[in-house]
Amino acid sequence: MRATSTQTPPDLGTGGSITGLPTSADLRWADPEDQQWVDRLIIRVTAAVMVFTWWLVLTSPTLLTGHYPWAYEATGLGLLAAWYAVLVTAAVRGSGNLRILWPLPPLVLVLLVGMLLVPTGPPALQGQVWLTHPATIAVNIGLLILPWRVALPLIVSIATALTLVHSEWMHLPQAIAQTAAIMVGPYVVFLISGHLLARLLQLRAASADRATAVVRAQESRHLADQKAYWDRLIHDHVLGALVLGHRATTEESLAHARDAAREALASLEAPAAAPPQDDWVRRLDLFARSRGLVPTTVVVGLWAPPEVSRALAAAGRQAIENVARHAGVTAVRIGVTQSPDSVVLTIADDGRGFDLESVESTRMGLNGSIPGHVHAVGGSMRVTSAPGHGTTVTLGWGGRSSSAPRLPVLASSPWPSQQLIVLVWAAIHGTLGALYLDGVVRPWLSASGALLYLAGLAVLLLGSFRRFVPAVCVGLLASSVLLAAGAEPIDAADGRLWFCGALLPLVVVLILVGRVVWGMALGLGSAVLVTGTWLALGGPPAAQAAAVAALQLVAFPLVCLLLGVALNRTAGRIAQAGEETARERIAESESAARIAEGDRRRAALDRDAIPLLHRLRSATSLSKEDREALRLAEGSTRDLLVAAPLVDDRVRLAAAEARRRGARVSLSAEDVDPAAPIPGTSSRTSSDRAPRVSPGPAPRGSSRPDSGSTSRASSGAASRPAPGASSGSRPGASSRAAASNRDRALLSLREVVALLLPACGEGSEIVVRWHPGSRPETASVVLDAPTCRIPQPELSRALRPVPHELTVTADDLFLRLLDEPDPGHPG
């Protein structure tokens, strides 16, 4: 999966004027091929339905009450047709880009100007007002998708035309307020949806990033795992068998050696077991084995939050300990289902069980340490057990499962603009209400309704949103009834019922932040109550009143609900797809690492260790030569285990020869980074992951009373960074330079060792240690009692690229390869 970055340079010339709210760049979601078509469809259909419902909400009251000349109807229908033609084109062409809607704003502008130019007179215009409502959508689309330099003149023109149309039958201030309400209100709702869409895109990018990070971590762990697996195999079995073999002088010890060889060969032939993926689960599995149990471990899911897995692992260990001590069986089932939202760990056995009420249970940590660990992270514990029927301990965290849509990731971030939106909305409707005061016939009812409404808003703005949701909803319901009862019932079908619109944004906000039940209850309840109030006061016909209320208060919230579900499902699908991809890639890297490391190790062992083990397995007696061969094989196998970076073919052969002559050869090389490639064995460029070397002081000069010749060299070429790495201030560059210095030192060391080994014979000893990154020197070589001449010129040639300290006396040789100062920190 390719990461889609929504943080790419924002186009400052486009919409989104309120900080923190999405810009049009956020809404241009993704490349088409990058997104699953289902996601695309869900989002597009939802957007289309939202827009259509908004249209219906705004136009239906007028359509239901008025009678218009056929020409107006025809114009309206024509506009609708054009509108849907654009939407369908967008869906069919499948560009996945909202920009396809750009013709709408100009279209609406043409319509408005047309209405002004046709001299119909104010009353006719008023009847035709529903035709002006597409302006709302046009403005919003313009704001969301068009660059400012195009959108701004368009929007100003639309606003001006709309105000002129309105002012044909109302005062100018009223007309301005009406225009503002129509244009700004829906924009706010669209912004909420847009914000959530943007969060969705971020979620997807984050999910992809996380998947990549997990895969990377797993890849390097697989390499380390496989290395560790083979190291262990060689350490525990192969070397052990070879040692026993070369020591096998008696019949009894030979029998032991045969057993060990048989075991070593069996473990070499067994396929490398794939360990459970997750570290904490694997540790639990190993812990169970260390307690003599035979666990069956099943893991579903890749990630658990670290603090949760720590707590559950601690509790799980205690539960496993209980199984080992009390259950009386060895089989234990460890089950883990994990995700970033919920983790469930089950430890089950079919052992003797116990009575939950008995004293026994208090002794098992079931009342103390296990729930202690789990509760510390807000998790829960369930124990089921009965004497003779086994015990199951279930430890859970998170995962409040609910069929209602929730937007855990989308809605959880602090979102101050939420409050800003509510405030703007309330201000608009407050202004509208003040302008339409002539429609109020029972002022005291309207005033108390308005007060209640303001109180509800204040709580939402000042108090904790979540804690007061029920109280606020009840208060707002009451306010809508009071407002409805205070106004002329006949105005139900008119835009003067500003209070209906006043509730709408709250309903939408509630639904989109996941308080679906309360949001819908507020919308539905208010629709029913308002209709009832109008009917009781002798307002418009029942059907009409109900239709108006339902459309205004239910339809749009319903669409928001649909949007919420769609976003939620898409978010879930994104997370799932990310997880599946990650799982596949992890499985691939696991098997790749297994095959590569297996081939490498087998190839090395095939030369001597494996044939010798086969012979040892069926040997009835061992000659001196056989035992010598085993000793040599042990030496070179050990070299591969503990000095792999140092031992190339040349060193390996030379070391075997030296051992054959009776020298003691001891090679060791620290692994700086188990997953890092060994120079000269792979084309992969050296990693940045190698820890940086501390500059370290120059080695203390030692007094050498009888040193024959001492040479001290520092390589100019090596101690200066290469031209390509001259920008040493970048940490990556300097650690790369350090790593390449180190590679060079290792290559020199190999050369030196290959030169010195032939000087080792009976009675001499060579110790080579490669330990980069720990001491002032990266390597040391001690050659004691050389049995032939040391080739000095070749030695100095091999050492030329590396700063070093070399002392050669008649009896021994001592060489240190000095660590080079980190080029990033000169001096």
Q: 705 to 734, contacts with another protein by CB under 8 A?
A: 705-707
Question: Rule CB under 8 A: is residue 230 a binding residue for another protein?
Answer: no
| CB-based contacts of 265, cutoff 8 Å, min separation 6 | 610, 613, 614, 617
**In whole angstroms, how far apart are CA 294 and each of 285, 289, 323, 338, 383?**
9, 6, 11, 22, 21
CB of 780 to another protein, least distance (A): 4
Question: Rule CB under 8 A: is residue 310 a binding residue for another protein?
Answer: yes
Q: How many residues bind another protein (CB under 8 A)?
A: 80
CB of 516 to another protein, least distance (A): 33
Question: Roughly what angle, to the nearest 10 degrees, separates helices 516-536 and 556-607?
Answer: 170
Question: Rule CB under 8 A: is residue 630 a binding residue for another protein?
Answer: no
* 627 touches 248 (CB < 8 A): yes
Using alpha carbons only, give the angle 348, 349, 354 rounded to the nearest 5 degrees.
100
Pick one of 220, 361, 668, 719: the residue that binds another protein (CB under 8 A).
668
CB of 815 to another protein, least distance (A): 9
CB of 356 to another protein, least distance (A): 19
Tokens of 73: 């109807």
Pick one of 39, 231, 491, 639: the residue that binds another protein (CB under 8 A).
231
* Segment interacting with another protein, rule: CB under 8 A, options 107-115, 309-317, 604-612, 797-805: 309-317
Question: Rule CB under 8 A: is residue 217 a binding residue for another protein?
Answer: no
| Cβ nearer to another protein, comparing 4 with 253 | 253
Q: Which helix (H) or strand (E) holds 219?
A: helix 172-233
* 184 touches 204 (CB < 8 A): no
Question: Rule CB under 8 A: is residue 247 a binding residue for another protein?
Answer: yes
Chain residues 736-765 in contact with another protein, contact rule CB under 8 A: 765
Pick one of 31, 209, 307, 355: the residue that binds another protein (CB under 8 A).
307
Pick one of 2, 171, 216, 289: the residue that binds another protein (CB under 8 A).
289
Alpha carbon distance 356, 71 (integer Å)? 81
* 796 touches 746 (CB < 8 A): no
User: DSSP letters along 601-650, please?
Assistant: HHHHHHHTHHHHHHHHHT-S---HHHHHHHHHHHHHHHHHHH-TTT--HH
Residue with tokens 């965290």, as numbered in its chain: 397
231 alpha-carbon distance from chain centroid: 33
* Segment interacting with another protein, rule: CB under 8 A, options 43-51, 258-266, 421-429, 734-742: 258-266
Question: Rule CB under 8 A: is residue 771 a binding residue for another protein?
Answer: yes
Alpha carbon distance 238, 605 (integer Å)? 9
Question: Rule CB under 8 A: is residue 321 a binding residue for another protein?
Answer: no
Pick one of 168, 626, 670, 673: the residue that binds another protein (CB under 8 A).
670
Residues in the chain: 827
| Cβ nearer to another protein, comparing 360 with 765 | 765
* Segment interacting with another protein, rule: CB under 8 A, options 398-406, 440-448, 683-691, 808-816: 808-816
Phi, psi values for residue 701, rounded to 5°: -70, 135
Alpha carbon distance 519, 540 (integer Å)? 27
Pick one of 199, 652, 769, 804: the residue that binds another protein (CB under 8 A).
769
Best CA proximity match to 140, nearest among 298, 303, 24, 279: 24
* 266 touches 295 (CB < 8 A): no
CB of 253 to another protein, least distance (A): 5
Chain residues 778-797 in contact with another protein, contact rule CB under 8 A: 780-782, 784
Question: Rule CB under 8 A: is residue 280 a binding residue for another protein?
Answer: yes
Best CA proximity match to 749, nearest among 630, 826, 606, 645: 645
| Cβ nearer to another protein, comparing 307 with 588 | 307
* 285 touches 334 (CB < 8 A): yes
CB of 481 to another protein, least distance (A): 47
φ/ψ bin of 671: left (φ > 0), alpha (ψ from -120 to 50), beta (otherwise): beta
Question: Rule CB under 8 A: is residue 620 a binding residue for another protein?
Answer: no
| Cβ nearer to another protein, comparing 139 with 248 | 248
* Segment interacting with another protein, rule: CB under 8 A, options 104-112, 310-318, 455-463, 819-827: 310-318
CB of 509 to another protein, least distance (A): 34
* 388 touches 402 (CB < 8 A): no
CB of 231 to another protein, least distance (A): 7
In this structure, the number of other CB atoms found within 10 A of the CB of residue 365 comes to 17
Question: Rule CB under 8 A: is residue 638 a binding residue for another protein?
Answer: yes
Q: What is the dihedral of CA 759, 650, 643, 700, to 10 degrees?
A: 50
Query: What is the residue type of 736?
Result: R
| Cβ nearer to another protein, comparing 73 with 236 | 236
CB of 193 to another protein, least distance (A): 39
Alpha carbon distance 824, 728 (integer Å)? 5
CB of 371 to another protein, least distance (A): 8
In the sheet that 709-713 helps form, which strands lie side by side, from edge to edge? 664-669, 765-770, 777-784, 812-818, 804-808, 709-713
Pick one of 171, 382, 614, 704: the residue that binds another protein (CB under 8 A).
704
DSSP alpha helix (H) spans, 37-171: 37-65, 70-93, 104-117, 122-127, 134-145, 148-167
| Cβ nearer to another protein, comparing 279 with 341 | 279
Pick one of 290, 296, 384, 682: the residue that binds another protein (CB under 8 A).
290
* Segment interacting with another protein, rule: CB under 8 A, options 59-67, 252-260, 576-584, 738-746: 252-260
Chain residues 448-487 in contact with another protein, contact rule CB under 8 A: none
| Cβ nearer to another protein, comparing 497 with 690 | 690
CB of 375 to another protein, least distance (A): 8
Best CA proximity match to 522, nearest among 554, 565, 561, 563: 554
| Cβ nearer to another protein, comparing 249 with 296 | 249
Pick one of 224, 314, 331, 490: the residue that binds another protein (CB under 8 A).
314
CB of 650 to another protein, least distance (A): 21
| Cβ nearer to another protein, comparing 585 with 750 | 750
CB of 370 to another protein, least distance (A): 9
Question: Rule CB under 8 A: is residue 583 a binding residue for another protein?
Answer: no
| Cβ nearer to another protein, comparing 282 with 650 | 282
Question: Rule CB under 8 A: is residue 515 a binding residue for another protein?
Answer: no
Q: What is the dihedral of CA 681, 684, 689, 690, to 10 degrees?
A: 30
| Cβ nearer to another protein, comparing 28 with 317 | 317
Question: Rule CB under 8 A: is residue 660 a binding residue for another protein?
Answer: no
Best CA proximity match to 436, nearest among 487, 386, 383: 487
Chain residues 365-424 in contact with another protein, contact rule CB under 8 A: 368-369, 371-373, 375-376
| Cβ nearer to another protein, comparing 572 with 699 | 699
Pick one of 13, 18, 73, 283: the residue that binds another protein (CB under 8 A).
283
In the sheet that 391-398 helps form, which strands lie side by side, from edge to edge? 294-300, 331-338, 342-349, 391-398, 380-385
DSSP state of 499: H
* 821 touches 827 (CB < 8 A): yes
* Segment interacting with another protein, rule: CB under 8 A, options 150-158, 219-227, 364-372, 590-598: 364-372
CB of 221 to another protein, least distance (A): 15
| Cβ nearer to another protein, comparing 271 with 723 | 271
| Cβ nearer to another protein, comparing 15 with 635 | 635
Tokens of 295: 């666990």
